Amino acid sequence: MELTNSEYTIQGVPVTQIVEQFQTPVYVYDADKIIQQIKTLRDSFSGVNLRIKYAMKSLSNLSILKLVKEYGVDLDCVSIQEVLLGVEAGFPKERILFTPNSVSFDEIKEAVSLGVVINIDNIAVLEHFGDVYGNTVPCAIRINPHITAGGNAKIQVGHIGSKFGVSIFQMSHVKKVVESHNINVVGLHMHSGSDILDSEVFLMAANVMFDCAKDFPNLQFIDMGSGFKVAYKEDDIVTNIPELGKKMSAAFKEFCKNYGRDLELWFEPGKYLVSESGHLLTKVNVLKHSPAAVFAGVDSGLNHLIRPMMYDAYHHIINVSNPSAPKRVYDVVGYICETDTFGYDRKISEIKVGDILSIQNAGAYSYSMASNYNSRFRPAEVLVFNGQPHLIRERETLQDLIRGQVDIFSEVEIKTSEETTTSEK
Binding positions for pyridoxal 5'-phosphate are 227, 365
Establish whether 337 is a catalytic residue. Answer: yes
Cα–Cα distance measured from residue 107 to residue 340, given in angstroms and rounded to the nearest whole number: 35
Positive or negative CA dihedral for 165, 169, 173, 175?
Answer: positive
- At residue 64, what are phi and psi to the nearest 5 degrees? -65, -45
Cross-strand pairs, 330: 346
Per the CB < 8 A criterion, the answer to whether 233 and 313 are in contact is no
Measured from the Cβ of residue 141, the count of other Cβ atoms closer than 10 Å reads 26
Count other C-beta atoms under 10 Å from residue 425's C-beta.
4
Determine the 3-state secondary structure of 10 from DSSP.
Answer: strand
Q: Which residue ranges are tagged as binding site for substrate?
A: 307, 311, 338, 365
Q: Check 139, 212, 256, 337 and give the catalytic one.
A: 337
Cα separations in angstroms, 60 against 27, 91, 180, 194, 407? 13, 13, 39, 18, 31
What DSSP state is assigned to residue 196? Answer: B
Which residues are CB-neighbours of 250 under 8 A, at least 6 positions away? none
Backbone angles phi, psi at 50, to 5 degrees: -85, 130
Q: How does 328-359 read in b/e, with b if 16+ C-beta sit within 10 Å?
A: eebbbbbbbeeebbbbeebebbebeeebbbbb
Q: Where are the alpha helices (DSSP H) in 98-196?
A: 105-114, 123-133, 171-181
Residue 35: CB atoms within 10 Å: 17
Q: Which residues are catalytic?
A: 337
